[in-house]
Amino acid sequence: MKLIYPACFYEEKEGGYSVEIPDLLGCITQGNNLEQALEMAEDAALGWILTSIEDEEEIPKASNIKDVKLKNQNGFVTLLLLDIDKYTEKYGSKKSVKKTLTIPEWLNKRAEKIGINFSKTLQEALLNKITNINRK
């Protein structure tokens, strides 16, 4: 699942950029150049969101980029594309919980026939559902 959040980039007098993701309270980072600042912003935002998911906290809805106001004139606003699935695979909690569920036999047979990974599919569906509920 991918999420999009606006980020404010500010050029610093000493060089480099500071970055704030206004919808994610306290999510601030920096980089020595624009490329590094963008990478750091994505990592900081993904870490913030993953921590919220693991702590069972609500994920804030992203603001419309047009509504984001800069704190000073030496900055710009852009959008971050955040791949939460990829980040979770790399940095998420490795602790698993076993769940028993029931599905129709015909669905099970068809899914097994085409090689669907049930655990991965359920994880993706649950994460998608949680995120969409929090966006409403």
For residue 19, what is the domain's CATH number? 3.30.160.250
Q: What pLDDT tens digit does each residue of the chain (136 aa) get? A: 899 999 999 999 999 999 999 999 999 999 999 999 999 999 999 999 989 988 889 899 999 999 999 998 889 999 999 998 888 888 876 667 778 888 899 999 999 999 999 888 998 888 888 777 655 5
Counting Cβ atoms within 10 Å, is residue 36 exposed (0-12), middle (13-18) or buried (19+)? middle
| Nearest CA among 26, 24, 22 for reference residue 78 | 22
Q: Which residue range is the domain that position 64 belongs to?
A: 2-135
Collapsing DSSP states into helix, strand and coil, what is residue 11? Answer: strand
Count of domains for the chain: 1
- pTM confidence score: 0.69
